[in-house]
Amino acid sequence: MRDIGTEYLFKCRENYFKDIRPSCKEVYDSEDYKFLSQLAQFYILERGAEEFSGFFQEAQYLVNLWTAHFLISVEDIVSKTRAESLDIIVRYSQTEMNSVLAFEEKQWLVENSLYTNNGL
Of the candidates 14, 25, 4, 118, which has an alpha carbon nearest to the alpha carbon of residue 63? 14
Please report, for residues 6, 27, 44, 49, 78, the alpha-carbon distance to residue 101 in angstroms, rounded to integers and kept in the order given. Answer: 24, 13, 25, 25, 27
Give, rounded to a whole angstrom, the gap between the first and last alpha carbons of the chain: 43
Q: How far apart are CA 17 and CA 14, in angstroms?
A: 5
H/E element, 97: none
Question: What are the domain boundaries of the chain?
Answer: 4-111
pLDDT at 75: 84
pLDDT per residue of the chain (120 residues) written in tens, 0 to 9 = 579 999 999 999 999 999 999 999 999 999 999 999 999 999 999 999 999 999 999 999 999 999 999 999 998 888 999 999 999 999 999 999 999 999 999 999 999 987 655 455
pLDDT at residue 113 in the model: 85
Global confidence as pTM: 0.92
The number of angstroms, rounded, from the C-alpha of 7 to the middle of its chain's C-alpha atoms is: 15
